[in-house]
Copies of this chain bind each other. A is one copy, B any other.
């Protein structure tokens, strides 16, 4: 089989250019006689790879020197504990917004370490919208305000950055990081599991404002301490070197595409045409408040559930892969991250139209 269009929500499709370069450099990185995964993390070569990746993400996202950029092991699930263990400090409470399954997971883990105040929730309507910020019950003495800008499973995305006043704003950007321009200076901390828009799974990028360092819980595992990671350029231990390298290749690729502004426009166009098709074809529907529809993850259901299997089978035959919705919600989901070409979205729409005509 040639390369398929892979709509998986994560681990997700990567740019072919990145995979080609990784393939070509697999046995010998630039005449060193070694694969990157065989290099000492203290070597000049790897340190250059690591520092270049950091600089590139700083350039792409517009991250100032007021922030440390960390390349940590794990993913968003590990950060669900890492964030409160680092940021609660003497404050016993944090504010969280609940807009879906990933918000709920973050809340459940944070509750194990302090008082969590759910300032707003759209659970009552099945997470189909984002609660208007005028009604949020935030507290001025909260250690931070946490939200999930894009809910990967529900397909719900904020179209605004919450105003948290003087309280540090914390965001799980696992499925939206680098997908469009964001003003990082509005945030205290951003974290993103790599396996959607950034690279392979097992790596999580953390962007943390330096004045928030040094408040970690006395019993925090050392490997989870942002201060320790920042002081050691994310090399307190042996980092996930190969994942870091791949991430760097993705950053270079994104620069080649014109950066986050250009990819943001492309992402908006991809999402708009897919939602437009869903809204205008009677076989398909999407339940999310149009204002807050995710540009990254597009869930949809078929009017007749009995057609699901046939739909997925036909998609597979056309190399349109992993369209089955998350096991917790069912239906279909097309994840169309940065690395999904517009041609992939066009191919999906073409198939969906064809299927509706024949079977709808």
Cβ A222 vs Cβ B6 within 8 A: no
Residues of B within 8 A of A13 (CB): 34, 38
Name the one of B41, B77, B82 contacting A201, with C-beta atoms under 8 angstroms. Answer: B41
Q: What CA separation (Å) do A333 and B242 show in the bound complex?
A: 23
Question: In the assembled complex, how far is the CB of residue A49 from the closest CB belonging to chain B, in whole angstroms?
Answer: 12
Q: Which residue of B lies closest to A113 (CB)?
A: B219
Question: Is B243 within 8 A of A243, CB to CB?
Answer: yes
Interface-located stretch among A15-23, A127-135, A140-148, A205-213? A15-23
Is the beta-carbon distance between A201 and B81 smaller than 8 angstroms? Answer: no
A28-B3 CB under 8 A given contacts A109-B222, A202-B73: yes
Q: Which residues on B sit within 8 Å (CB–CB) of A262? A: none
- Selected contact of A238 from candidates B23, B27, B75, B242, CB within 8 Å: B75
Question: What's the Cα separation between A237 and B110 when bound, in Å?
Answer: 16
By beta carbon, the residue of chain B nearest A32 is B1
Question: CB of A103 within 8 A of chain B?
Answer: no
Kindly state whether residue A166 has any CB partner on chain B within 8 Å.
no
Indicate if the CB atoms of B322 and A40 lie closer than 8 Å: yes
Q: Nearest residue in B to A43 (C-beta to C-beta)?
A: B322
Residue from A31, A37, A75 with most neighbouring chain B CB atoms (10 Å): A37
A39 partner residues in chain B, CB cutoff 8 A: 8, 11
Chain B min CB distance to A122 (Å): 24
Q: Beyond the given A19-B26, A76-B237, A77-B236, could you list 18 further A-B residue pairs with CB under 8 A, ordered by the A residue number?
A: A2-B33, A4-B32, A10-B40, A10-B238, A13-B38, A20-B26, A22-B26, A26-B26, A41-B201, A43-B322, A73-B73, A82-B221, A85-B221, A195-B238, A200-B241, A202-B239, A202-B240, A221-B221
Give the 4 A-B residue pairs with the shortest CB-CB distance, closest first: A202-B240, A4-B33, A77-B237, A81-B221
Could you give 13 example pairs across A and B, Cβ below 8 Å?
A2-B28, A3-B27, A4-B32, A6-B33, A11-B38, A11-B41, A14-B38, A77-B223, A78-B221, A81-B221, A200-B240, A202-B243, A221-B224
